[in-house]
Structure formats: structure tokens, C-alpha cells
Structure 1
Amino acid sequence: MTKIVFMGTPDFAVASLNALAEAGFEIAAVVTAADKPAGRGQKIQESAVKQYAVAHNIKVLQPLKLKDPEFIAELAALKADLHVVVAFRMLPEVVWNMPPKGTINLHGSLLPQYRGAAPINHAIINGEKESGVTTFFLKHEIDTGDIIFSAKVEIADDATAGDLHDQLMDAGAALLVKTVKAIESGDYQEQPQPQSDTLKHAPKIFKEDCKIDWNKPAGDVYNLIRGLSPYPTAFTILNDKTLKIFKAELAEKEVKGTPGTWYTDGKTKLEYQAADGLISLTDLQFEGKKRMQVGEFLRGMRL
């Protein structure tokens, strides 16, 4: 049975780790992010992958630097056949080139489209109707290695990044088990990523990317809100404070006023004017308040 070192950090990676363990593969160790303080109380928080590993008596490695000689020696001593990477950071060659069967990565897009740190968000922001997962062998340039397998997933018109995350998490776990079994048996044929002049990219998202530009078409604003929900969340400014918007609906194709103008009946409706139509907010969070539905928000606010 193939001996694996698994590298990952968030919940997205846990589904794959669990699927590999349940398929009977030997998980020699996990490599995950160092513990760090989080939240208001700055309590030390362990990664989701570490929590799973500890609960299942799997060895945990948490190097601060992936080129640390002590970490490299400890990794080599495990004598893994294969390294598996899901939602982790960039690896130095000394790590990805170590195991005899190579290092594979699971990526949350149909490569070569949406290479980068935030493929799930960008697919929805761009209004895609389908996405998927891809397994590939790591090499020097990020997300460019030879493809082993891929699987498509349809995106519903109202799906958020959170919805697509969960779809791809499950599809990815299944695809990863299929991939490792194929590598174990030698029954696969890797394919170079196709060259394309129309590649869409998925760079890391920063706070300034989350601010809504109401001068854009309503459809684009709607997709931005979906693509940033539940995290990092699209926002606008209301009464000089930040208003995060988790969910919204396309309202009338109507231009009542200048983009960014808001309208409310004070009870159940809060709408914003985009370039060519109205966006009706349904699930939001005002600065200093909890997340709530629009009706509850309007009952507690005097706008």
C-alpha cells in the first residue's frame, strides 16, 4: 500500500485526508501550518488538518520554514512513496522532488483555467456555469504540472463561493482517491496542460477587491457578492460604516437614480442602484453588529 505524507491546512483539505485514510492508504504524517492565535481572545488555534490528525493518531509536522534542514531530515526519514498536497503553500523543490512517486496536488478548478490562490471565488465572480477539480504533478511553476485527472462540477445560478467550496471539497476527495489508486497501479497517463491565449487567473483576493463598485452592471455586482460569500465578503459603505453583504438578489432592471443610491421601505426591503438595475440585499452584517436577515436589520436601524 502506498505510504503518503499529506500536506494541507483548512477544512477543504480534511475531506481529502479522510478519504485517503478511509481508502486504506498509509498516512505516515501530515504537514500543516503552525498553530497561531486567533479571534478576540487570541486563543491558540490549530489547523483543521492538525485537529483531524491528532484525533486519528497521525504524526504531525509543523515547520515554520519548509527548507529547514531539521524538517527536511524528518520528512526524508518517513520514506513516503508519495506526497499529496491540498490547500497548502508553495513547496521548495527539495520537498516536492523527494518521494519516488512524486508529489501531487489537488486544485479547485479545471486547469489550466483559474491557476492561483482563489479559484473558487474567481469562478463565481466571473459568472462561470461550471468548475471542477484537477489532480496534477507538482513542478517549478505554480499550478502548471502535468494533469492526471479532472472532474467537472456544475455551478447553480445562485451558488455562493461557500456552496461551490463544499461541492469541490467532496468532488476533490473522490478524485484524489482515484488518482492515488491509479498512481499505485501505474494505470494513468499524465497530460501536459493545454496552452491557451484565454486563460483566466485566480489571484489572492485583498480587501480592496471586496468593495462593491455600484457603477458596474447589476449582474456583475450580484456575482461579486456570491463569489465573496461567506468569506472574505463583499461590502459597501452605509452611513460611513461598513456593510457586509452575504447574499442578495437581482431586483428590477430599473434605473431610479445614480449608482450607489439606496432605497428602503423600512421593513423588508433594502435595495442598491447598480449601473443598469437594482440589487436587493437579503443577508448582511453592519459594522459592530451580528450577521442578520434584512428584515431584522431594518427593524433595528433607523436609516
Structure 2
Amino acid sequence: MKRFAFYLLGKKGYLCLARFLEEYGGEAVAFVVSAKDKGVKKDYFDEISGLCRKYAIKLYERSERVCDSFDVSFAIGWRWMIPDSSKLIVFHDSLLPKYRGFSPLVNMLIRGEERIGVTALFASHDYDSGEIIDQQSIRITYPVKISEAIDKVSCLYEKVFLRIIGCLVFGEELKGAPQDEDVATFSLWRDESDYEIDWGVGSDELKRFVDAVGYPYSGAKTKLHGEWVRIADVELVKDVEVESRKSHLGKVIFMDDGCPVVVCGRGLVKVVNIVDANGNSLIGKISFRTRFGA
């Protein structure tokens, strides 16, 4: 039987490895490479490590040099360059050629895309531009939290992964189709500064942003009296006519049962989950004369 190598990160990587081991056992795994991810609250490194211990699989951390031989390798949830990409199949969180690059699922949700999905492709010199082996998508409706979207996409990952593994195990040739470069778009990496709320956008987009960068990520943030706070959930509120609106973005216009209703570039949002730097809820503790973002 072929020997497979895995570069895994996060829930999707963990679930695919777990399904592989259920079907084929640990002897078919040459090695696993994984890493801790400081950018999320739960990175599944411990779960992946646990599977490797259970099935006596050699586990490397990202910083370690890998010398073992293998027939085919998979990068699932992985976001770093892999030196040997000659026999590598990459799983990507978008419907390529759209959203090549980093944080595609988060950026798709912020943009309000109607379909999300996964693409399996052969690795290439330019990232996410190789020939497409398989692609699956699902329609979503808003509002949707990033954790829900990850669960939906994870199911597609497993489906595509098991289909490809089945072909390889039974000696079937994997064929790829070239991407249409004329419609390619790129999704850029996000860091801590990208979690800041822009009160100048419309309320619909603002809610999508809050939902897209929530758990397992750090969460949307804004300044309150000069200190950073995190907003985990907002609700849309029927808009009213605000005189000189651009001068009042981020200001509280109403209070609703202790929850501030805030002026956006278009529309209003009610902040229903907000915490300080120590994780303490601020609902019921915010004064009426408050401007967020300052």
C-alpha cells in the first residue's frame, strides 16, 4: 500500500487524519507534520498529537527537519511553504481560482459570498495556482458564524479527501484541470490589526465581519475610552435618519436593555456581546454618551 505524509493544521486537518486512520490504520502513514497556531484559540495540535500517539505515527513539529520517504503528501489546513512539493496535494478553503492565498474563508464571509467550499489541487510553484483535482461547495445563508462555516467546510474536506485517497489506494490516476487565470483573485493574510471594526461600513457588512473573525479567532475589536474591547456578537437594528451621519460613526444612539445601539455608515447595530481585555462582560456598564473606536 502507498505511504502517505500529512501536513496538518486545525480542525479540518484533524478530522481528515481521523477519518483516514479509521479507514486505513496507521501503517499507511509515513509521518505527520503539525504545529501550534497562536492565531486561534483552539488549534487542534493536541488532538492531532493524540492520534499520532494512539496509532504510533511519527510526528514532526513544523520547525523539525523531515527525512522520511513517502508516496504522496497532503497539506490540509496548512499555511506555510513545504520544501518538497513534487508529490503534494493541497486543500484550500475556497473555490479556486477565487480567493487564492490566506484566510480565504474569513474573507469570503466578510464579502458575503453565497457559496463556500474546498478545492483540492496539485501543488505548484505559485501558491494555489496548480491544476484542480476536485472541488466541492455548499450554499450558505447569513448570518453565519465562522465556527459554523468551518464545520460546514470540514464536511466537504472529508468528502473530497476520502474520494482522492480512494483513487490513490486503488491505483487510479488523479487528473487535474488548469485554472482560469483571467478570473483569479487573491486573499491576503490577516493579523491583529485586521480585527479592528470599521464603523464606517454598513451594518450588514459590520455584522458579517464580527461573525467572520469570532471564535476560534481572537474576535472583532474596537476602542472604548482608549482601551481595546472585543465584540463577539451584534444584531441588526432598523435604521433611522441620523443628521450629519459621517460625524457620528461609532456613537451610541440608543440603549436597549443595557445593550448599546451604535451608528454605522449605513444602518445601526445593537452590541449584545462585548468584553474587556480580561474577558469581563461590559453589557449594562456602557454609558449612553459613548463613542466606539475612540
Tell me the TM-score normalised to structure 1 length.
0.82
* Structure-2 change in CA distance of 1:174 and 1:250 (3 Å): same
Q: 1: CA distance between counterparts of 2:37 and 2:284?
A: 41
RMSD of aligned Cα (Å) = 2.5
Q: Verify the 8 A CA contact 2:259 2:284 in the aligned structure 1.
A: no
The answer on 1:214 being equivalent to 2:213 is: no
Give 1:106 shift.
1.1
- Relative to structure 1, is the Cα distance of residues 265 and 272 closer, same or farther in structure 2, using a 3 angstrom cutoff? closer
Aligned-residue offset at 1:278: 0.2
Question: Alignment identity in percent?
Answer: 19
Match of 1:112 among 97, 100, 107: 97
Q: Give matches, 1:64-143, under 5 Å.
A: 64=63, 68=65, 71-72=66-67, 75-76=68-69, 80-93=70-83, 95-97=84-86, 102-143=87-128
Moved over 4 A (4+): 300-303
Q: How many pairs align?
A: 277
Superposed, 1:34-45 pairs within 5 Å as none
State whether residues 259 and 271 of structure 2, in contact with CA within 8 Å, keep that contact through their aligned partners in structure 1.
yes
Give the TM-score normalised by the residue count of structure 2.
Answer: 0.85
Asked if the contact 1:9–1:50 (Cα under 8 Å) also holds between the matched residues in 2, the reply is no
Q: Measure the CA separation in 2 of the matches of 1:63 and 1:207.
A: 22
- State whether residues 146 and 212 of structure 2, in contact with CA within 8 Å, keep that contact through their aligned partners in structure 1: yes
- Residue in 2 that maps onto 1:17: 17
Displacement of 1:202: 2.0
- The 2-side partners of 1:170 and 1:232 are apart by 24
Whether 2:167 is the aligned partner of 1:178: answer no
Contact 1:218 1:277 in 2 (8 A): yes
Give SS of 1:183's match: helix
Q: What's the CA shift string for 1:136-193, capped at 9, x where partnerless?
A: 1112111111110010122221112221111111210221111121234325431011
Mapped contact 1:182–1:188 kept (Cα < 8 A):
yes
1:58, CA displacement in angstroms?
1.7
The 1-side partners of 2:255 and 2:155 are apart by: 41
Aligned to 1:62: 61
Verify: 1:8 aligned to 2:13, yes or no: no
**Which residue is 2:52 aligned to?**
53
Is residue 2:144 matched to residue 1:159?
A: yes
Cα distance in 2 for partners of 1:49, 1:277 equals 44
Deviation at 1:119, TM superposition (A): 1.0
Map of 1:31 onto structure 2: 33
Query: 2:176 & 2:158 partners in 1: Cα distance?
Result: 19
Q: Is the 8 A contact 1:23 1:177 kept in 2?
A: no
Question: Once the 2 structures are TM-superposed, how far is the Cα of residue 299 of structure 1 from its aligned partner?
Answer: 3.5
Q: What aligned pairs does 1:197-208 form with structure 2 within 5 A after superposition?
A: 197=183, 199-208=184-193
Matched, 1:190 2:176: yes
Gaps of 5+ in 2: 289-294
Aligned AA for 1:276? R
